[in-house]
Chains A and B, each alone.
Chain A
């Protein structure tokens, strides 16, 4: 506990003393009193003596209360603070939810949103962002650790994707280019969605921000069936390279993976396609150090959380931060009590004090 503006105390006490001296001097202003004889008619009454004693007591109490009020207000004005220097821990993991909202995915998107919600519920302190893409990518919300907001956004997304009417509005901007499900472009957009993702090393010298970004682990949770239609700017492989360069892990969810491990041996035409898609995603995931899961996978959520949290290489410590906590409660509380006491005492202070003082001054003048 310390006083931030300690110099206010001597200054304030000096000011109070000056006011008291000034008032003392001003007693010279004389209101000529009413001379009365045989004052013993009143002053000898026991009731008067009692009233005088109680008045004196109240006056003393009022002066004490006034002094307490002045001192406690001065102490409050001097700002009692407790200083503490804290080193804030920064959560150094960023997670991008990357959702394919192409037509082929719409049926499963609600289920994926459920998985996302579960995931978000498991994280604590990590920053989370969300991007949706079809032929073009839209960032739904940027990196944030406001979990309430994130939960709200996810709920809104779930609701929008669940009903076709609202979905059109919600998906606005995801179909700006030709084609559909441009996975590579979507993944690249997600990678680029991290702040200064690519050039951290290059920019590290520039400012604190990029330096702070440096030690962060980045994860993309990519939910897609990898059913490409059209010509993307980035192929999945190129986007994977981009992610690798940016040191970003990709955890892939595939809603079309039904658990069969050998896609190649399927007789139907559809399955090789599904198999290729799954293989592509698996490669991407493993190339970036992430993992691949089928949507139905029971252990997916727990596994992703574990793996993302395992990426924490070192605890990132912020610059030591000096914080001042004000403690005005005690002095202001005492001041309030003193003020209450003053009000309760109901001493007609100014009038009587001035009157008594002026009589004394008057007598001094008349009888030197």
Chain B
């Protein structure tokens, strides 16, 4: 049991105090609803459970709502697709390194999968290449996956998330729960093409880690370094109101492009700007996915 997962667990524990404990699990469990699951036992209803999963007869007998629990006939696999290029060593909008947010999001999803008895695997990489880690259902394994993300530094190669997605599209045949850990990527035709392919084959969820703003009120202070080219960015030039305005317009157009691409394929998405938002946004992501279907 490693330290990264401990941090994720403590975060989940705090979250559990604010929302009902089973809430997240219920949301997660509903993802594969109807996928050939066999009835296992009954458990108490918690908000978030599908109403159609309620065993009405058992409920009538006991006087409290009960949910039918299923045993997966075959183990589901959660595949995390993450960018481990040096883009993730850059800062998120909240000022933390993006990889910290990614570790937290991946840890939460991994623990949910483990709790559900699923296995977790990871496809990660950068512009130089993509690596696939096998699917296993142990906490030790999840910890190891998180370490791959945590190891990201500025000495890594530049990022290219699309090539990781293309790797998944090319190599994974069976239906997976696919969670993409992405940042402010540009919705270009190459990305749109691979997303369409993945969506046809898998359940796809999209976690958007929001990059640091380069202009406007939440812009980075001091000197900025473009991690792609390792060159200074004269962010202070964006203090010019006209430039800040055109930046805001361009950012809105970019966000609209990505949102359109994902929504046309019915992919649920959530944006995370700080580690504090991770739990809530993952919950929203799962709920959106359930509702969107």
B-contacting residues of A (Cβ < 8 Å)? 31, 33-43, 45-48, 51-52, 55, 348, 351-352, 355-356, 358-360, 362-363, 366-367
- In the assembled complex, the Cα of A366 lies from the Cα of B227 at a distance in Å of 12
Which of these, B184, B211, B224, contacts A33 with CB under 8 Å? B224
A42 touching B233, Cβ below 8 Å: yes
> 8 Å CB contacts to A: which residues of B209-244?
211-212, 214-215, 220-238, 240, 242-243
B155 touching A39, Cβ below 8 Å: no
- In the assembled complex, the Cα of A366 lies from the Cα of B232 at a distance in Å of 14
A36 touching B211, Cβ below 8 Å: yes
B243 touching A37, Cβ below 8 Å: no
Q: Chain B residues with Cβ under 8 A from A51's Cβ?
A: 237, 240, 243
Query: In the complex, what's the smallest C-beta–C-beta distance from A218 to chain B, in angstroms?
Result: 82
Could you list 29 examples of A-B contacts with CB < 8 Å?
A: A31-B223, A34-B220, A34-B222, A34-B225, A35-B86, A35-B225, A36-B224, A36-B233, A37-B184, A37-B211, A37-B212, A38-B228, A39-B228, A41-B254, A42-B215, A43-B226, A43-B233, A45-B247, A45-B250, A47-B242, A47-B246, A55-B234, A348-B236, A352-B236, A356-B232, A356-B234, A358-B223, A363-B230, A366-B155
B89 at the interface (CB under 8 A from A): yes
CB closest chain-B residue, reference A50: B243
User: Contacts A35-B154, A41-B251: A362 and B238 contacting too (C-beta < 8 A)?
Assistant: no
B87 at the interface (CB under 8 A from A): yes
Q: Interface size on B (CB < 8 Å)?
A: 45
Query: How many A-B Cβ pairs are below 8 Å?
Result: 122
- In the assembled complex, the Cα of A358 lies from the Cα of B232 at a distance in Å of 9
Q: Chain B residues with Cβ under 8 A from A355's Cβ?
A: 222-223, 232
Q: Chain B residues with Cβ under 8 A from A41's Cβ?
A: 184, 211, 214, 247, 250-251, 254
B227 touching A48, Cβ below 8 Å: no
Apart from the given pairs A34-B221, A41-B247, A356-B234, 10 other A-B contacts in the complex at a CB distance below 8 Å: A37-B159, A38-B183, A39-B224, A39-B226, A41-B251, A45-B243, A45-B247, A359-B225, A363-B225, A363-B231
B91 at the interface (CB under 8 A from A): yes
Q: Which of B184, B232, B236, B240 gathers the greatest number of chain A CB atoms within 10 Å?
A: B232
CB closest chain-B residue, reference A39: B226
B282 at the interface (CB under 8 A from A): no
B242 touching A36, Cβ below 8 Å: no
Q: Chain B residues with Cβ under 8 A from A356's Cβ?
A: 223, 232, 234
B289 at the interface (CB under 8 A from A): no
- In the assembled complex, the Cα of A366 lies from the Cα of B156 at a distance in Å of 11
Which of these, B87, B154, B234, contacts A38 with CB under 8 Å? B87
Query: In the complex, what's the smallest C-beta–C-beta distance from B161 to chain A, in angstroms?
Result: 11
A-contacting residues of B (Cβ < 8 Å)? 86-91, 98, 154-155, 159, 183-186, 211-212, 214-215, 220-238, 240, 242-243, 246-247, 250-251, 254
3 closest pairs, A vs B, by CB? A39-B226, A37-B90, A37-B87
User: Contacts A37-B183, A42-B233, A363-B230: A48 and B225 contacting too (C-beta < 8 A)?
Assistant: no
- In the assembled complex, the Cα of A356 lies from the Cα of B225 at a distance in Å of 9
B242 touching A34, Cβ below 8 Å: no
A52 touching B234, Cβ below 8 Å: yes
Q: Chain B residues with Cβ under 8 A from A358's Cβ?
A: 223
Q: Which of A38, A40, A348, A360 gathers the greatest number of chain B CB atoms within 10 Å?
A: A38
Query: In the complex, what's the smallest C-beta–C-beta distance from B156 to chain A, in angstroms?
Result: 11
Query: In the complex, what's the smallest C-beta–C-beta distance from B128 to chain A, in angstroms?
Result: 15
Query: In the complex, what's the smallest C-beta–C-beta distance from B264 to chain A, in angstroms?
Result: 22
A33 touching B223, Cβ below 8 Å: yes
Q: Chain A residues with Cβ under 8 A from B91's Cβ?
A: 34-36
User: Contacts A40-B228, A359-B232: A52 and B237 contacting too (C-beta < 8 A)?
Assistant: yes
Q: Chain B residues with Cβ under 8 A from A34's Cβ?
A: 91, 212, 220-225
Q: Chain B residues with Cβ under 8 A from A47's Cβ?
A: 242-243, 246-247
- In the assembled complex, the Cα of A52 lies from the Cα of B184 at a distance in Å of 23
Q: Chain A residues with Cβ under 8 A from B230's Cβ?
A: 363, 366-367
Which of these, A36, A42, A55, A362, contacts B227 with CB under 8 Å? A36
Q: Which of A33, A48, A52 gathers the greatest number of chain B CB atoms within 10 Å?
A: A48
- In the assembled complex, the Cα of A264 lies from the Cα of B35 at a distance in Å of 163
User: Contacts A48-B237, A51-B240, A359-B223: A35 and B232 contacting too (C-beta < 8 A)?
Assistant: no
Query: In the complex, what's the smallest C-beta–C-beta distance from B279 to chain A, in angstroms?
Result: 24
A38 touching B211, Cβ below 8 Å: yes
B227 touching A37, Cβ below 8 Å: yes
Q: Which of A33, A34, A355 gathers the greatest number of chain B CB atoms within 10 Å?
A: A34
A33 touching B154, Cβ below 8 Å: no
Q: Chain A residues with Cβ under 8 A from B89's Cβ?
A: 35
- In the assembled complex, the Cα of A55 lies from the Cα of B239 at a distance in Å of 13
